[in-house]
Chain A
């Protein structure tokens, strides 16, 4: 076999391999100084590549994000035992699937939502109604949205102190400020602009947000603080993280 063929075999060889197939190559290296020198360069370059691969950035919040997804998934599974609800949601799920198949619409909507979230984190709108009466606030929110303003179960533990109405990507929306936490507010949008049944968390320079959808509406928890602080708050309030 020629030196060129042995060189091409070297690309298939890996350090530490001691299989019978690599015996002829190793024997050749022991007797051909030119190939041995070439192989030494190759090995050094290979080690340099291996070292470069070890440069992976840190991702300190990734584990928390994965556990947030899993907690939400587990909760949905527990709730999903009410089978009538699955059947009820089936037409909505089918419409959503069709929507995804139709193209990039959801992706563009999510990008618009991100821009809106960044704006709201840095410049929230002034309140249009201040009240400690939760029923009054929710009734006002219902009038700003289409239909009822009943909150999903994961938000049953939160209370609000003010609300304002706005538009997000041409959809009706309300921003509710939390009662016991100045840094937190909840954006409810009358459309599905993010993944269904999955909490996605983000961190921007102005703060953090967690967003999810029940298929009909999108809920975004805005938090002027770090992602860790936001998850701690969500845990305290019983919002799944």
Chain B
């Protein structure tokens, strides 16, 4: 099927917010998320002939975003090397973070990448196991086991607020 420029432009309008949100929680940074989303749409445009079914465009775009993310991680320092202060004090996000979002940032930072990627797709976009499996190119059983582990860790991490989260909570009282 021929994918016209107009069709692709419509997909950008429809899905850019979704891709940006996923990239934001994967990277913890608005700036990085913007660059990643731009790169993903550019790559998607270049490889649009590889899309077999336009009904599957959302999962296809998320898959390309994941591919761009892994390329970027190889090129730059790993997320573990980014200090949390660096992420937290990104000026644009500082004023709007709630205590729960702050705790979530800190918790995701502690998860391994193989757990962080599926758990973001699970919670942020409510994707099904099958959709997550397709986007991450993993068997569905692997996705289910990684998600169960990731959710368990996330619940435990969110239960134990850090000093920064407690300070944030105190600020809002």
Contact = CB atoms under 8 A, between A and B. Distances in A.
Interface of A: 8, 11-12, 14, 42, 45-46, 48-57, 59, 62-63, 65-67, 69-70, 73-74, 107, 198, 200
B16 A62 contact: yes
Interface string B24-45: 1100001001100110011001
A74 to B, nearest CB: 7
B46 interface: yes
Given A50-B123, A67-B12, 13 more contacts: A11-B148, A45-B158, A46-B151, A48-B158, A49-B155, A52-B100, A55-B98, A57-B24, A57-B93, A63-B13, A65-B38, A66-B38, A69-B42
Given A55-B101, A56-B24, A11 B151 contact: yes
A59 B20 contact: yes
Nearest to A202: B31
Contact of A69 (B30, B41, B92, B145): B41
A135 to B, nearest CB: 36
A11 B152 contact: yes
Contacts of B101: 52, 55
A45 B159 contact: yes
Contact of A57 (B41, B92, B103, B155): B92
Contacts of B57: none
A53 B120 CA distance: 8
Contacts of A62: 16, 20, 34, 37-38
The majority secondary structure among interface residues of chain B is: helix
Contacts of A67: 9, 12
B34 A59 contact: yes
Interface of B: 5, 8-9, 12-13, 16, 20-21, 24-25, 30, 33-34, 37-38, 41-42, 45-46, 75-76, 92-93, 96-98, 100-101, 103-104, 120, 122-124, 144-145, 147-149, 151-152, 154-155, 158-159
The majority secondary structure among interface residues of chain A is: helix
Contacts of A50: 123
A50 B151 CA distance: 11
A59, A65, A69: most-surrounded residue (chain B CB, <10 A): A59
Contacts of B120: 53
A49 B41 contact: no
Nearest to B90: A57
Nearest to B22: A56
A8 B101 CA distance: 25
Contact of B12 (A49, A51, A63, A198): A63
A70 B30 CA distance: 21
Given A11-B152, A53-B25, A57-B30, A198 B42 contact: yes
A38 to B, nearest CB: 11
B45 A73 contact: yes
A55 B94 CA distance: 12
Contact of A49 (B93, B147, B154): B154
